[in-house]
Amino acid sequence: MRVDPSSSAAEPAVVHSLYVHVPFCHTICGYCDFYSEVLDRRRVTPLVDALLRELDQLTARYRLALDTIFVGGGTPTVLPAPELERLLTRVAALASAECEFNVEANPATVTDEIADALQRAGVNRVSIGAQSFDRGELAVLDRIHNPEQVPQTVERVRRAGIPRISLDLIFAVPGQSVQRWLANVSAALALGPQHLSCYGLTYEPGTPLYDQLRTGRVQRVDEDREADMFEATIDHLAAAGFEQYEISNFARPGEACRHNLVYWNNLPALAIGPSAAGFDGSLRYRNVPDTAAYVRMIESGAAPRIEEECLSFDRRMRESAMLGLRLTRGLDRAAFTERFSHDPLTLFPDRGADFIRDGLLHADADCVRLTRRGLLLANRVSAAVL
Ligand code: SF4
């Protein structure tokens, strides 16, 4: 989302991106640390009512002309089709003609009725949480679907007339070999998606998987093998015509996720729903991560926020550098300097030369970007920038 520079104090700022968080799932996966609760159908209508009222709160304050919409969670497709369509149709009324309208879906939840509801509401991109095509790996991850349901879901979404498909995959699942990981990538490619997101499994404190790791019930894939998987992914997908445009994201030409590019370019994106975090260009906010409390706050007429922070110029600049370095094209030095009056290399005066010497960072007259090795160790570079 952009804030229109022609907006003045007298006019509401024009914003172009919106995230909608649907906080329900069928079950909670053992590795997940997103805010989500097990679906209770009695709570769906109050939730959708509250989401629409929060949308009204935003439209009273900003002018929403949406070029990107991302509905995530949670699992938006666990909502009953009429309620999902009611939500999406209202959001779609704020979309521009060229809007990228994405909904996250999980394979076991997409019926023909859901796929048709998405299509009727104007959804033009679905990101499907495939994660793996191996039954054993899906079990380790506590996923409720089986491998056969992934192609069925892709087929259903396409049959409904939704053209763009992204598949999410997870690598470094306990017990996974490089070869088995690449078999997953090949199985995903065989379904002809325009986009793939490939994330290494993380063990987040507080999750059941983290406890299993701590108590020795699962073994983490060792670092070298995980690095081999990451590098093999880049090569395998490049050979299939996919460009790595962000550390974990790969797309056919012209098919990068426009909504996520808004985040990586640190541009404004509003958000609604429990736990959702939005940014209007200077103010960052986060909503209460509790669905019951969220609905209560909205019903009482309050904004459902638990945090609001006006970002300092320095913080915005550093975050922009950190996020922009996630993109393989890196930071355009001239554009960054024009936006922040600082060359990006000046943000890590002590370590920049070390990173370049160690082969993590590349700098030339036009750009500063992570090298292939640097993409693997991006957190180390980001920490120095922040
Ligand atoms: S389906 Fe996604 S959001 Fe829901 S619990 Fe699993 S990983 Fe988390």
SS3 of residue 159 by DSSP: helix
**Beta strands across the sheet bearing 125-131:** 243-246, 249-251, 195-200, 164-171, 125-131, 95-105, 63-73, 14-22, 270-272
Q: What average pLDDT does this structure show over 126-130? A: 98
| Count, residues in the chain | 386
CA of 169 to the centre of ligand 1 (A): 13
How far does residue 73's CA lie from ligand 1's centre (Å)?
A: 7
Nearest CA to ligand 1 atom 5: 28
Band (349; pLDDT cuts 50, 70, 90): confident
| pLDDT score recorded for residue 10 | 60
Place of tokens 């729903």: 273
- Cα 7–13–15 angle (5° rounding)? 120
Find the residues whose C-beta lies inside 6 A of ligand 1: 25, 28-29, 32, 34, 36, 73-75, 106, 129
Q: What per-residue confidence (pLDDT) applies to 194? A: 98
Q: Whose CA is nearest to atom 7 of ligand 1?
A: 32
**What does pTM read for this prediction?**
0.95
Dig out the tokens for 26 from the structure: 């069928």
The domains of the chain are located at 14-264, 313-385
Q: Which two tokens stand for residue 80?
A: 């009953």
pLDDT score recorded for residue 5: 42
Q: Which long-range contacts (CB under 8 A, 24 or more apart) does 60-64 make?
A: 61/12, 62/12, 62/13, 62/14, 62/15, 62/270, 62/280, 63/11, 63/12, 63/13, 63/14, 63/15, 64/14, 64/15, 64/16, 64/18, 64/94, 64/270
Residue from 75, 140, 169, 170 to probe ligand 1 pocket by mutation (most atoms less than 8 Å from CB): 75
Cα dist. 266→72, 100, 198, 299 in Å? 19, 18, 21, 32
**How many angstroms is it from 250 CA to the middle of ligand 1?**
21
Inter-residue contact 155 to 115 (CB < 8 Å): no
Which residue lies with its CA nearest to atom 3 of ligand 1? Answer: 74
By most ligand atoms within 8 Å of CB, the mutation choice from 20, 32, 173 for ligand 1 is 32
Which CATH fold would you assign to the domain 14-264? TIM Barrel (3.20.20)
Spell out the alpha helix ranges (H) of 160-269: 178-189, 208-214, 223-239, 258-264
Question: Hey, is 200 helix, strand or coil?
Answer: strand
Q: What is the pLDDT of residues 34-47, one digit of tens each?
A: 999 999 999 999 99
Q: Mean pLDDT, to the nearest integer, of 86-92? A: 98
What's residue 2's pLDDT?
43
Token pair, residue 102, equals 């994405």
Question: What does the mean pLDDT of the chain come to?
Answer: 95
For the ranges 76-90, 97-111, 273-287, 368-382, the lowest mean pLDDT is seen at 368-382
Per-residue pLDDT tens digits for 175-194: 999 999 999 999 999 999 99
**Cα–Cα distance, 105 to 74 (Å, whole number):** 9
Residue nearest to atom 8 of ligand 1 (CA): 32
Q: Which CATH class is domain 313-385?
A: mainly alpha
Backbone angles phi, psi at 230, to 5 degrees: -60, -45
Reported as type and span, the H/E element at residue 354 is helix 352-357
Atom of ligand 1 nearest to the CA of 73: 3
Compute the distance from residue 221 Cα to the ligand 1 centre, in Å: 21
Distance from C-alpha of 224 to C-alpha of 200, rounded to nearest angstrom: 13
Tally DSSP H helices, then E strands, for the chain: 15, 17
Q: Which two tokens stand for residue 314?
A: 């320095």
Q: Residue 318 C-alpha to ligand 1 middle, in angstroms?
A: 31
Query: Is the per-residue pLDDT at 8 higher than 50?
Result: no
Q: Is the pLDDT of residue 98 over 60?
A: yes
pLDDT bracket for residue 64 (50, 70, 90): very high
Mutate to test the pocket of ligand 1, among 36, 78, 144, 202 (most ligand atoms within 8 A of CB): 36
Tell me which residue of 186, 173, 183 sits closest to 137, measured CA to CA. 173
